[in-house]
């Protein structure tokens, strides 16, 4: 089986590549990534040593380049992780989100049609459902919750989902979609909550918590997400959506306190800053369909996963420093400079 993985030099895509190389020993893995700011090529160091791994630096928006890769590699299965993925950046500059997340996905699906790919899997997000109220813990996102997006990021992901389902219905392209809650684990770029807070805490810098810190996210360890995607590809039905989540809701301030406590740092580092525009209040996934139909459920408990994650960043400070040099400094100053 030959898998083509887009966005494999990013957070979840790289974890997925390592899962495939470890757990599908006969497989070939082709990675396509344009190496944006969010990628770190050193993330794939171990994969480059594996003869079953091939890498192409290419942009999913480049139809000609993508078709050439398909013509050469003829993948069986395509998993589309490549995306602009950070909500805050989408608020500042939506255009690149629409181009990458919508038009790039279309290019990938057109290539899949042309080359008769057996499954196109779109990695989507629970953010397409909008948000839930804090005072209704009984409400969870299921696959038939209406799409109701808040940010340019989530709107672009929802658009891609709808186009993917249209390609299934109209052209019979065997598409599947997974919508997952917030991930955490190794190789996450430190613009996202958990690695940003770990990095700041380790460097004794303020920890910028948006608004009142009471927004809720449903956290899933990245390996569990990757196992869920594999289960959808192998056992899920074409034309279907599967929600993946861990029944693990936490407020942002809880997360920040857990990190500080584990690192033995003072809570005086916490700084409440101006809220994100349109900030979604609560996400919470109902993953029953994936449990029932795919026999998937998360295996890593949050208490263990967060320790594994913090320990990983402590042991990989070189990797972290590669991410936080250069452009990151400008990004950080622009995003957080006038926020206090
Ligand atoms: P990431 O930002 O860490 O990585 C994205 C990768 O895509 C990077 O390596 C980047 O270089 C690459 N990329 C971006 N634009 C590209 C283009 N035009 N052509 C080729 N490559 C391009 O993102 P992530 O957190 O790993 O998320 C991966 C996918 O999972 C995304 O589609 C995201 O919407 C989805 N998702 C993420 C989460 C989460 O918590 N991080 C949760 C649910 C779903
Ligand atoms: P993030 O990691 O950006 O993921 P998403 O917005 O896709 O859920 O943010 C997670 C939560 O943490 C979200 O409620 C915003 C909040 N947050 C902060 O309070 N401070 C920060 O510096 C960041 C990056 C996020």
Q: Which of 153, 187, 313, 336 is catalytic?
A: 153
Please say if the pLDDT value at position 305 is more than 80: yes
pLDDT band at 77 (very low <50, low <70, confident <90, very high): very high
Q: Whose CA is nearest to atom 33 of ligand 1?
A: 85
Distance 210 CA to ligand 1 centre (A): 23
Task: Output the six-digit token pair for 100.
Answer: 């990458």
CA separation for the pair 242, 255 (Å, rounded): 26
Inter-residue contact 179 to 125 (CB < 8 Å): yes
126-179 pLDDT, tens per residue? 999 999 999 999 999 999 999 999 999 999 999 999 999 999 999 999 999 999
Please say if the pLDDT value at position 259 is more than 80: yes
Distance 86 CA to ligand 2 centre (A): 9
- pLDDT at position 326: 86
Q: Which of 127, 191, 224, 249 is catalytic?
A: 127
Does 153 participate in catalysis according to the annotation?
yes
Please say if the pLDDT value at position 40 is more than 80: yes
Distance 279 CA to ligand 2 centre (A): 9
Which secondary structure element, helix H or strand E, spans residue 33, and what is its range? strand 28-33
Q: Whose CA is nearest to atom 3 of ligand 2?
A: 192
CA-13 nearest atom, ligand 1: 26
217-246 pLDDT, tens per residue? 999 999 999 999 999 999 999 999 999 998
What average pLDDT does the chain have?
A: 98
170-209 pLDDT, tens per residue? 999 999 999 999 999 999 999 999 999 999 999 999 999 9
Please say if the pLDDT value at position 17 is more than 90: yes
Does 126 participate in catalysis according to the annotation?
yes
- pLDDT at position 340: 77
The mean per-residue pLDDT over the stretch 72-90 comes to 98
Q: Whose CA is nearest to atom 5 of ligand 1?
A: 10
Contacts 24+ apart (CB under 8 A), 170-173: 171/113, 173/109, 173/112, 173/113, 173/120
Helix %, strand %, coil % of the chain (to 5): 45, 15, 35
Ramachandran class of 189: left when φ > 0, alpha when ψ lies in -120 to 50, beta otherwise: beta
Between β-strands 77-80 and 220-221, what pairing exists: parallel, antiparallel or unpaired? unpaired
Distance 236 CA to ligand 2 centre (A): 31
Task: Output the six-digit token pair for 93.
Answer: 């500059």
Which secondary structure element, helix H or strand E, spans residue 241, and what is its range? strand 241-244
Distance 1 CA to ligand 1 centre (A): 23
What count of other Cβ atoms lies within 10 Å of the Cβ of residue 289? 18
CA separation for the pair 175, 166 (Å, rounded): 10
The correct CATH number of 2-191+219-247+281-303 out of 3.40.50.720, 1.10.10.1800, 3.30.460.10, 1.20.1630.10 is: 3.40.50.720
The ligand placed nearest to the CA atom of residue 79 is 1
Best of 12, 131, 151, 193 for a ligand 2 pocket test (most atoms within 8 Å of beta carbon): 193
pLDDT band at 94 (very low <50, low <70, confident <90, very high): very high
Please say if the pLDDT value at position 56 is more than 80: yes
The ligand placed nearest to the CA atom of residue 336 is 2
Please say if the pLDDT value at position 57 is more than 90: yes
Q: Would you kindly state where each structural domain of the chain is located, as residue ranges? A: 2-191+219-247+281-303
- pLDDT at position 187: 98
Does 12 contact ligand 1 (Cβ within 6 A)?
A: yes
CA separation for the pair 50, 53 (Å, rounded): 6
- pLDDT at position 112: 99
Between β-strands 270-273 and 207-210, what pairing exists: parallel, antiparallel or unpaired? parallel
Please say if the pLDDT value at position 116 is more than 80: yes
Say how many residues make up the chain.
340
- Ligand 2 pocket: which residues have CB below 6 Å? 87, 182, 192-193, 196, 208-210, 215, 217, 252, 276
Please say if the pLDDT value at position 321 is more than 80: yes
pLDDT band at 97 (very low <50, low <70, confident <90, very high): very high
Distance 49 CA to ligand 2 centre (A): 34
Which secondary structure element, helix H or strand E, spans residue 57, and what is its range? strand 53-57
pLDDT band at 8 (very low <50, low <70, confident <90, very high): very high
Which secondary structure element, helix H or strand E, spans residue 251, and what is its range? strand 249-251
Please say if the pLDDT value at position 49 is more than 80: yes
Does 242 participate in catalysis according to the annotation?
no
Best of 37, 84, 85, 186 for a ligand 1 pocket test (most atoms within 8 Å of beta carbon): 85
């Amino acid at each position: 089986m030959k898998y083509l993985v887009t966005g494999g030099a990013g957070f979840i895509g790289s974890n997925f590549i390592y899962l495939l190389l470890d757990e599908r020993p006969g497989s070939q893995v082709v990675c396509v990534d344009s190496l944006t700011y969010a990628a770190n090529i050193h993330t794939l160091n171990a994969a480059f040593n594996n003869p079953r791994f091939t890498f192409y630096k290419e942009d999913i928006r480049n139809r000609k380049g993508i078709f050439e890769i398909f013509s050469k590699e003829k993948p069986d299965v395509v998993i589309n992780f490549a995306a602009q993925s950070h909500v805050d950046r989408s608020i500042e500059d939506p255009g690149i989100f629409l181009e990458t997340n919508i038009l790039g996905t279309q290019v990938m699906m057109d290539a899949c049609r042309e080359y008769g790919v057996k499954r196109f899997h779109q990695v989507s997000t629970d953010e397409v459902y909008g948000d839930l109220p804090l005072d209704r813990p009984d409400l969870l996102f299921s696959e038939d919750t209406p799409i109701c997006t808040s940010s340019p990021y989530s709107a672009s992901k929802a658009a891609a989902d709808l186009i993917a389902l249209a390609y299934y219905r109209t052209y019979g392209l065997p598409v599947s979609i997974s919508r997952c809650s917030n991930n955490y684990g190794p190789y996450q770029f430190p613009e996202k909550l958990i690695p940003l807070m770990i990095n700041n805490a380790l460097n004794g810098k303020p920890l910028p918590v948006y608004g009142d810190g009471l927004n809720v996210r449903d956290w899933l360890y990245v390996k569990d997400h990757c196992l869920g995607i594999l289960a959808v590809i192998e056992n899920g039905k074409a034309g279907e959506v599967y929600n993946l989540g861990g029944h693990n809701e936490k407020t942002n301030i809880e997360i920040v306190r857990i990190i500080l406590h584990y690192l033995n740092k003072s809570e005086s580092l916490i700084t409440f800053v101006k809220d994100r525009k349109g900030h979604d209040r609560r996400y919470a996934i109902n993953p029953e369909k994936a449990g029932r139909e795919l026999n998937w459920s998360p295996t890593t408990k949050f208490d263990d996963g967060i320790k594994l994650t913090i320990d990983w960043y402590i042991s990989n400070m070189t990797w972290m420093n590669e991410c936080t040099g250069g452009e990151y400094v400008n990004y950080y100053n622009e995003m957080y400079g006038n926020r206090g």
